[in-house]
A and B are shown apart, each in its own frame.
Chain A
Amino acid sequence: MQLEFSPAEIAFQKEVRSFIAENYPENLRSVQDEGHDLSKEDFLSWHRILAKKGWIAPAWPVEYGGTGWTATERFIWSEELAAADCVGTMPFGLSMVGPVIYTFGTPEQKAKFLPGILSGDDWWCQGYSEPGAGSDLASLRTKAVRDGDDYVVNGQKTWTTMAQHADWGFFLVRTDSDAKAQEGISFLLIDMKSPGVTVRPIITLGGEHEVNEVWLEEVRVPVANRVYEENKGWTCAKFLLAHERTGIAAVARSKRGVEKIKAIARTEQDGDRPLIANPFFKRKISELEIDLTALEFTELRSLAGEASGKGPGPESSLLKIKGSEIQQRITELALEAVGHYGAPYFRGFGEGDNEHPIGPDYAHRAAPTYFNTRKTTIYGGSNEIQRNIIAKMVLGI
């Protein structure tokens, strides 16, 4: 065991750092700084730059377009991305359906779908949850009935993140209503432009349009778009959920978040001293930072386990629980730090509106971000469900 980077790793760090500095889109930076909502094009502009460089999917096997980086190099990469405040790439293609397709898909499916995921030409969304099937995902009722070379799909999905931009969605559908809940489910790739697909916005607490309802009415989906065997979709779903959970620890981003809190607390005045000199506030920052270190080293240990052949197992639930709680605490502290200026409600700039937000620049997103971040302990399997998983799978009770 050793903590220091090798000379090669330090060289790698320099290389990626300067690549980001030289290539990160200028206008995207200003959109972020001013607190605008990011458009599809905003997200894609950075995605395409990384795709062109060949760095868009570091976690993928090299044969499918991965970088072949070691776990340490990937660690350095995510640190550098976060330190430079780069927008995240959308996980639905790169971290979710991509790995499912290269693990379970046919050669035709790999050839058809992987290039679009890498290039960013296809935007993906995840159609799992339904109004009646949240934590109890296996109770899903969206139905797919075989009709010749197609399935005919009917049902309703909900909470579908960024479906308003999506070209494709991966859906869990019921293909056998008589089987035990988990056994009659199939994994379908659905063209979001198919007739019968309707996407309706759900506006969340910070005022943002992130999630949607997706209605499927008599949607015809070629059988060729089913990944893996019929009625075995749960296998893909479980594989993918475990993948979803590792990314969710968000250690590098949270480190950056803690740095931002410190910067705010150095600027904000608390009487005759900066807020960072307030012993109560200082203690909360330290607690956060120490908990984040514990999470970081737990993740590093878990990655080391993965590298030696153990796939992400149920202990990834620990990363999800602690990671999501830390993300929430960061937003809590930010809101606390801005004091009175947490109250003004500022929803980006309207068309032709160049009014300046109220209060300091770092203040106007504090409350909406705090509200929005309540989601992290709910999605990707709620923290209660994650605790149930640890109890059952790790503790054996």
Chain B
Amino acid sequence: MDFSYTETQDMIRETLSRFLADTYDFDSRSKMIASSSGRDPGIWKALAQDLGMLGASFSEDQGGLGGGHLENALIMEELGKVIAIEPYLQTVVLGGGALKAVGGAVADAVIPEIINGNVIIAFAYAEPQGRYNLANIRTTAKKDGAGYVLNGHKSVVYAAPWATHLLVTARTGGATSDVNGVSLFLIDANAKGIVRRDYPTVDGFQASEIYFENAAIPADALLGDEGAGLPLIERIVDEATVAVCAESCGVTAKLHQGTLEYARQRNQFGQPISRFQVLQHRMVDMFMEVEQSKSMTTMATLKLDLPAAERMAAVSACKAKVSRSAKFVGQNAIQTHGGIGITQELAIGHFFKRATMIENQFGSADHHYDRFERLTLAD
């Protein structure tokens, strides 16, 4: 057993942290979000080409640094510390994760383009009726000659307005919630028959409703085997769930730190409010939640390559805990700030918003307790 990071991992963290400190202060972030595209594409390019960061979790054969889940986790944690709106989760963790898992010609062609920053992938999986059930899919992919024709509606697809590619879950067979008949496709985001409605999200990203209207896609867009895509989808979503937990560690650490700093300098009744024991205990509880989130995220990251049932139980345990922590830390950060906590002008509120969205991303605490129980508590 060894919980230490390698020199390369330390270096990745330090390089990224320094870069983000220079580029992602609160004002710069606000300006990016307010700009017409809602982001600064130069940052993504710099992450790829100046820092080599987008290759950290890919093998050296594919032009990466030879890392994996741990690299994704530490990068996501650093991104969380500045509430970055970069599409790392969607492009590298989800898109890259799927490509690494299936390999082959498409992976060989696309992964280098991810690494050099030319490809942005958005993950179109959720549907209005589906909630957090990954198999609950109505979008269909019908065989048509050599390729497929897509029809359906995907909800709240983060990063879609920026994407060059969409990673899409669709039914090639079976009924709405069947385990079989689910397939995963990587398609050109600008293909004919894809209609998007773009909008900002409450946590600063851009997202879209995506409507496939007889969108024709080639045969090689299929990742893995037709109709047998669910295990692959579950796996990459588990990887993404842990990545979001890592991000949450960064977000909540900052919420806690910001609260501590504020409480030290805010005076009421002739003393810093940090002297009030009820607030001290609360900040201690926040601290413990952050530490436990880090522990659970480490645990789950290290278990991502175990057999599916063990992996799922670990990921659900992690997400259930992290969701609750994100809520607790976020709410108490605002409460401890008093009125100033609910203004748009202060960073703390924006960290709170991201923490709130993390709570339900890839499943609420309830959803994950439920999955954990199904896997670990036989009747």
Contact = CB atoms under 8 A, between A and B. Distances in A.
Interface string B135-159: 0100000000000000000011010
A250 to B, nearest CB: 18
Given A135-B268, A280-B370, A359-B155, A335 B131 contact: no
A272 B207 contact: no
B26 interface: no
Given A271-B177, A280-B369, A134 B356 contact: no
Nearest to B369: A280
B207 A384 contact: no
Contacts of A207: 344
B339 A378 contact: yes
B269 A343 contact: no
B199 A159 contact: no
Given A280-B366, A367-B356, A371-B352, A340 B126 contact: yes
Interface string A202-243: 111101000100000000000000000000000000000000
A374 B352 CA distance: 11
Given A205-B343, A371-B342, A343 B129 contact: no
Contact of B344 (A205, A275, A281): A205
A291 interface: no
Given A343-B207, A379-B339, A202 B366 contact: no
A344 B207 contact: yes
A374 B360 contact: no
B155 A204 contact: no
Interface string A366-397: 01101110110111001110010000000000
A339 interface: yes
B77 interface: no
Interface size bracket, A side: 35 or more
Nearest to A355: B197
B45 interface: no
Contacts, number: 128
A358 B210 CA distance: 11
A343 B205 CA distance: 9
B129 A136 contact: no
Given A204-B342, A379-B339, A368 B202 contact: yes
A271 B338 contact: no
Given A272-B177, A340-B126, A344-B201, A204 B343 contact: yes
A269 B129 contact: yes
B132 interface: yes
B377 to A, nearest CB: 14
B269 A367 contact: no
Contacts of A139: 268-270
A345 B268 contact: no
B345 A384 contact: no
Contacts of B345: 202-203
B334 A374 contact: yes
Contact of B269 (A136, A268, A272, A375): A136
Contacts of B343: 202-205
B112 interface: no
Interface in A321-373: 335-336, 339-346, 358-359, 367-368, 370-372
A158 interface: yes
A125 B221 CA distance: 61
Interface size bracket, B side: 35 or more
Contact of A136 (B205, B268, B335): B268
Contact of B339 (A159, A203, A281, A368): A159
Contact of A359 (B128, B130, B200, B202): B128
B105 interface: no
Nearest to A283: B366
A129 interface: yes
Q: Which applies to chain A's interface (DSSP): helix, strand, loop or mixed?
A: mixed
A121 interface: no
B268 A281 contact: no
B197 A358 contact: yes
B269 A135 contact: yes
A278 interface: yes
A368 B203 CA distance: 11
A371 B335 CA distance: 12
A387 B197 CA distance: 48
A248 B130 CA distance: 38
Nearest to A129: B339
A342 B342 contact: no
A248 to B, nearest CB: 16
A358 B335 contact: no
Interface in A125-153: 129, 132, 134-136, 139
A287 interface: no
A219 to B, nearest CB: 23
B357 A343 contact: yes
A126 to B, nearest CB: 13
A384 B278 contact: yes
Nearest to A336: B364
Interface string B174-210: 0001000000000000000000010111110101010
Interface in B272-320: 276, 278-279
A156 B262 CA distance: 21
B367 to A, nearest CB: 9
B344 A378 contact: no
Contact of A339 (B132, B201, B279): B132
A205 B268 contact: no
A378 B342 CA distance: 10
A173 to B, nearest CB: 19
B303 to A, nearest CB: 25
B96 interface: no
A345 B366 contact: no
Given A205-B344, A367-B356, A343 B339 contact: no
A339 to B, nearest CB: 5
Contacts of B156: 340-341, 343-344, 358-359
B331 A374 contact: yes
16 contacts: A134-B268, A135-B338, A136-B270, A204-B344, A207-B344, A271-B131, A271-B136, A271-B177, A275-B131, A343-B357, A344-B199, A344-B202, A345-B201, A367-B357, A374-B335, A378-B339
- The 6 A-B pairs of least Cβ separation, nearest first, read A136-B268, A280-B366, A203-B344, A340-B156, A343-B201, A367-B202
Given A203-B343, A378-B342, 11 more contacts: A136-B268, A139-B268, A203-B344, A204-B342, A204-B344, A280-B370, A343-B156, A343-B205, A345-B202, A346-B199, A374-B341
Interface of A: 129, 132, 134-136, 139, 158-159, 202-205, 207, 211, 268-272, 275, 278, 280-281, 335-336, 339-346, 358-359, 367-368, 370-372, 374-375, 377-379, 382-384, 387
